[in-house]
């Protein structure tokens, strides 16, 4: 791991130099973690071709030492991280032009750069670390695989105890407890447990609603292992599926299947999205698939690349993305089937293995 992080910092230093800058202030917390291993919520990282300085606070003293080792100089700042930054920048007198992360610095902190950090000339940058993160290395893929395995074990355990009469909240409790048992060290995003009409809300939160016969039950959740996320969705039927439910389910299942088979490095995100969207439109449900097909996963549950109508960029080899078509009819319910896919040199490897056929429960 130490080696890989050194490579990452070296690759970033190259990007900084190519952009004609002497250093980069890294404020995105996933970017800080990617480069140094530090997993705390409060840090400023300054990277140059010669060194890396991580400024954090007392709460993370022990943790930073353990996680970062000698990959960066660690500064524990008692007052404000920004005071620590100015003090340390003052010592790096070879830094004349420095970048900051335009997508990860709020305006208030940008003002600090102009006011107090004026010894440097500051330049906004976009995605210098994100482009590195898009291509997962072996260690990262192994962690995502472990997070997928944990999520699938938890789902199996959960489905064995779910049935009509249980509340969405209780199901979320069983699922999240199973995720912990499976080794998940956190929840990458709020679990969605949506039944009946709630399944029509793509971002529903669990409610006290009780599962009833004839309901859809949609579970969208993930595990986090070694910092890396999985993200999976399955939709079940409580009792027996109606013919309409079966029809919608099959359209989504086949859209998912076509897209996971088609997606590969070199394709644009728009074309990948188009495979699933085109199929759903042809079957007459185009208006009911209002979100995009998928997104990259890694240290964050939403990261580059995007698989969407407006995504002109080319999917790179090594990315791990979700493929998650859905059909939602307000008041009636919805179906989404989501897999995690690794875009390898020789095509596509679907990491999620939980069955995609319609399952009728309880």
Residues that bind a copy of itself (CB under 8 A): 39-41, 57-63, 79, 100, 102-108, 110-111, 124, 126, 169-170, 172-174, 176-181, 183-187, 190, 200-208, 290-291, 310, 330
Rounded least distance, CB 294 to a copy of itself, Å: 14
In the complex with a copy of itself, which residue's Cβ is closer, 200 or 251? 200
250 near 201, Cβ under 8 Å? no
Nearest to 339 by CA among 242, 281, 256: 256
71 near 9, Cβ under 8 Å? yes
In the complex with a copy of itself, which residue's Cβ is closer, 331 or 355? 331
Nearest to 320 by CA among 299, 352, 345, 343: 343
223, burial (CB in 10 Å: exposed 0-12, middle 13-18, buried 19+):
buried
In the complex with a copy of itself, which residue's Cβ is closer, 91 or 310? 310
Rounded least distance, CB 175 to a copy of itself, Å: 9
In the complex with a copy of itself, which residue's Cβ is closer, 42 or 349? 42
Alpha carbons within 13 A on the beta-carbon side of 290: 10
d(CA 337, CA 170): 22
Rounded least distance, CB 302 to a copy of itself, Å: 10
Q: Per residue in 275-313, is it b (16+ CB within 10 Å) or e — as a string? A: bbbebbeebebeebbeebbbbbbbbbbebbbbbbeebee
236 near 217, Cβ under 8 Å? yes
In the complex with a copy of itself, which residue's Cβ is closer, 57 or 140? 57
The two tokens of residue 335 are 């179906």
Rounded least distance, CB 344 to a copy of itself, Å: 30
In the complex with a copy of itself, which residue's Cβ is closer, 307 or 343? 307
Rounded least distance, CB 29 to a copy of itself, Å: 13
Residue with tokens 């690759």: 11
In the complex with a copy of itself, which residue's Cβ is closer, 48 or 125? 125
Q: What is the dihedral of CA 340, 342, 343, 344, to 10 degrees?
A: -160
In the complex with a copy of itself, which residue's Cβ is closer, 209 or 253? 209
Rounded least distance, CB 110 to a copy of itself, Å: 5
> Count of CB atoms within 10 A of residue 42's CB?
14
Rounded least distance, CB 7 to a copy of itself, Å: 26
Rounded least distance, CB 217 to a copy of itself, Å: 16
194, burial (CB in 10 Å: exposed 0-12, middle 13-18, buried 19+):
buried
């Amino acid at each position: 791991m130490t080696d890989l992080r050194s490579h990452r910092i070296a690759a970033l230093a190259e990007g900084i130099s190519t952009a004609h800058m002497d250093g980069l202030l890294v404020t995105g917390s996933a970017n800080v973690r990617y480069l140094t291993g530090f997993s705390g919520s409060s840090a400023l990282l300054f990277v140059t071709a010669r060194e890396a300085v991580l400024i954090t606070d007392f709460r993370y003293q022990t943790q930073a030492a353990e996680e970062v080792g000698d990959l960066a100089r660690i500064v524990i700042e008692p007052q404000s991280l920004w005071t620590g930054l100015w003090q340390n920048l003052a010592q790096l007198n070879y830094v004349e032009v420095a970048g900051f992360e335009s997508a990860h610095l709020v305006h208030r902190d940008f003002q600090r750069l102009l006011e107090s950090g004026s010894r440097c000339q500051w330049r906004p940058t976009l995605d210098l670390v994100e482009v590195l993160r898009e291509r997962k290395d072996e260690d990262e893929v192994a962690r995502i695989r472990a997070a997928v395995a944990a999520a699938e074990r938890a789902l199996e355990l959960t489905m064995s105890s779910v049935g009509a009469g249980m509340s969405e909240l209780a199901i979320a409790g069983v699922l999240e407890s199973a995720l912990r048992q499976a080794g998940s060290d956190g929840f990458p995003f709020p679990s969605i447990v949506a039944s009946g009409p709630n399944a029509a809300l793509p971002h529903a939160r669990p409610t006290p609603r009780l599962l009833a016969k004839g309901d859809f039950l949609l579970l969208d959740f993930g595990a986090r292992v070694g910092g890396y996320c999985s993200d999976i969705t399955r939709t079940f039927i409580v009792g027996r599926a109606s013919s309409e439910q079966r029809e919608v389910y099959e359209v989504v299942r086949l859209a998912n299947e076509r897209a996971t088979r088609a997606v590969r490095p070199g394709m644009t995100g728009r074309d990948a999205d188009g495979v699933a969207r085109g199929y759903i439109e042809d079957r007459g449900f185009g208006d009911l698939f209002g979100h995009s097909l998928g997104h990259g996963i890694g240290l964050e549950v939403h990261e580059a690349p995007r698989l969407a109508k407006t995504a002109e960029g080319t999917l790179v080899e090594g990315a791990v993305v979700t493929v998650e078509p859905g059909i939602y009819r307000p008041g009636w319910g919805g179906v989404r089937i989501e897999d995690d896919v690794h875009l390898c040199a020789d095509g596509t490897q679907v990491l999620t293995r939980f069955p995609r056929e319609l399952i009728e429960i309880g």
